[in-house]
Amino acid sequence: MSDIAPAPCEFLEWDSRFFGRRIARLTLPRLTPDAVTAVLAWCRTKQIACLYFLADADDSETTQLAAEHGFQLVDVRLTLERGGPAEFAPSARSFEESIRPFATADLPALRGLAGRAHRDSRFFFDPHFSPERTQQLFETWIENSCNDHRGHVFVAEVEGQPAGYVACQIVTAQTGQIGLLGVDAVAQGRGVGTRLIMSALSWFAARGATRVIVVTQGRNVRAQRLYQKCGFVTAALQLWYHRWFEVVPSGGKT
């Protein structure tokens, strides 16, 4: 069945199935009056409950139209990058005793950590998504990363117990991406995050990556400082909006 209007929207099957709501994504980075009209009509016809919109941050018309038409700003999305093969010296070698590859027995601990570690996410910030279901989102995310043979997950041990992780993936021939990074509260301030990132950089370098990217939240200053300490610089800044077409009380089912 074809779309009834040429609106720049994409229905998200996985998100819709996971949250139990019809969710779509606006595929343009900017809004115009005509685009807003087409998008909202498409969403109502398709019975969309929530529309994600990742917007350019430097377009004043987009931010004005988003505010006028009920789009809720839920996150500032920062993309950071580190590049140049000479920078990817395998400095993680000195940390091998505490950083190791994921093992199947780690999964319960990593799922628990993932459920606690990503509270700066736009999904936790948006009260239309229940905290319980959002926690399960990150538990599922780290489990999928551990089972993805195209990537790699490093685990940090503190006193013999998993206390952190970093998920790595090659996304193009020369670009790697850090998907998730989490450090347990009891291990913060001990250099665990730095060791995980340097282990990831070493893994990327061994596979020919000359550029590594990572995305974090504008409100997650701790993560920004960590990546900057490890040589990352800001590459892009965007705005995440959610447009809801029905209201669910905070903490309600999604």
Task: Kindly give the pairing relationship between strand 151-158 and strand 161-172.
Answer: antiparallel
Q: Which two tokens stand for residue 2?
A: 């074809």
User: pLDDT per residue over 43-94, tens digit each?
Assistant: 999 999 999 999 999 999 999 999 999 999 999 999 999 986 545 544 444 4
Domain positions in the chain are 9-70, 81-235
> How far is 178 from 212, CA to CA, in rounded Å?
7
**% helix / strand / coil in the chain, to the nearest 5?**
40, 30, 30
Q: What is the largest CA-CA distance in the chain?
A: 59
> How far is 195 from 112, CA to CA, in rounded Å?
21
Q: What is the mean pLDDT of the chain?
A: 90
Q: What is the CATH number of domain 81-235?
A: 3.40.630.30
pTM of the full structure? 0.87
